[in-house]
Chain A
Amino acid sequence: MFLSTLIFGLMLGGTYALIALGLSLQYGIARIMNLAYGEVLIAAAFIAFVLFSSYGLSPLWSLFIIVPLGYGLSFVIYRVMMRPLVRRSGGSGHLEVDSILATFGLLFVIQGIMLVAFGGNYHSYSYLAEGIDIFGTTVALNRLLSFGLSVAIGGGLYLALTHSRWGLNLRAVALAPKSAPLVGIDVNRVASIGFALGGALAVAGGVMISMYQAFSASYGVVFTMKALVVVIMGGVGNLLGALVAGLLLGLVETFVLVYVDPGLTLAATYLLFLVVLLWRPEGIFARRGK
Chain B
Amino acid sequence: MNSLKRRTLFCLLSGAALSAVSFGFANAQDRTSVKIGYAVSKSGANATGAGITTIPNYKLWVKEVNDAGGLTLPDGKRLPVEVVEYDDRSSAEDAVRFTERLASQDKVDFILPPWGTGFNLAVAPLYERFGYPQLAVTGVTDKAPEFAARWKKSFWMLGGGHDYANALADVLKAAREAGQINDKVAVISVADGFGIDLIKAARPALKEAGFTLAYDKTYPVGTSDFAALVNEAAASGADSFIAFSYPPDSFAVTKQAQTARFNPKVLYVGVGGAFPIFPKVSDGKQEGVISIGGVDGSSDRIEDYFKRHEAFIGAKPDSWASAITYASLEMLAQSVQRVGLDKAAVANELSTGSFDTVIGPVKLEDNQLRQLWWAGQWQGDRFVAIAPADRSGAAKPVIPKPQW
Contact = CB atoms under 8 A, between A and B. Distances in A.
Interface of A: 4-5, 8, 11-12, 15, 112, 115, 119-126, 129-131, 137-140, 143, 212-218, 222, 253-254, 257-258, 261-267
A122 B251 contact: yes
Interface in B256-280: 256, 258-261, 272, 275, 277, 280
Interface of B: 41-45, 47-48, 50-52, 188, 191, 217-220, 222-225, 227-229, 231-232, 247-248, 251-252, 255-256, 258-261, 272, 275, 277, 280-283
A160 B42 CA distance: 45
Contacts of B44: 120, 218
B223 A262 contact: yes
A120 B48 contact: yes
B222 A266 contact: yes
Contacts of A261: 217
B358 to A, nearest CB: 22
Contact of A121 (B47, B222, B281): B47
Nearest to B41: A120
B247 A214 contact: yes
A120 B51 contact: yes
A12 B48 CA distance: 25
A115 B43 contact: yes
B289 to A, nearest CB: 14
A218 B51 contact: no
B220 A263 contact: yes
Given A120-B43, A216-B47, A263 B218 contact: yes
8 contacts: A124-B248, A126-B282, A212-B255, A218-B45, A257-B229, A258-B228, A258-B232, A267-B220
B14 to A, nearest CB: 30
Given A214-B252, A222-B222, A122 B261 contact: no
A257 B228 CA distance: 8
A266 B219 CA distance: 9
B228 A8 contact: yes
Nearest to B315: A121
Given A120-B42, A131-B260, A138-B259, A262 B219 contact: yes
B244 to A, nearest CB: 13
B248 A213 contact: yes
A215 B48 CA distance: 10
The 9 closest A-B pairs by CB, nearest first: A120-B47, A214-B248, A140-B259, A262-B219, A126-B283, A8-B227, A131-B259, A121-B51, A120-B51
A222 B218 CA distance: 20
B35 to A, nearest CB: 25
A122 to B, nearest CB: 5
Given A8-B227, A263-B191, 12 more contacts: A8-B225, A11-B227, A120-B43, A120-B44, A120-B50, A122-B248, A126-B283, A131-B260, A138-B260, A218-B47, A257-B219, A262-B188
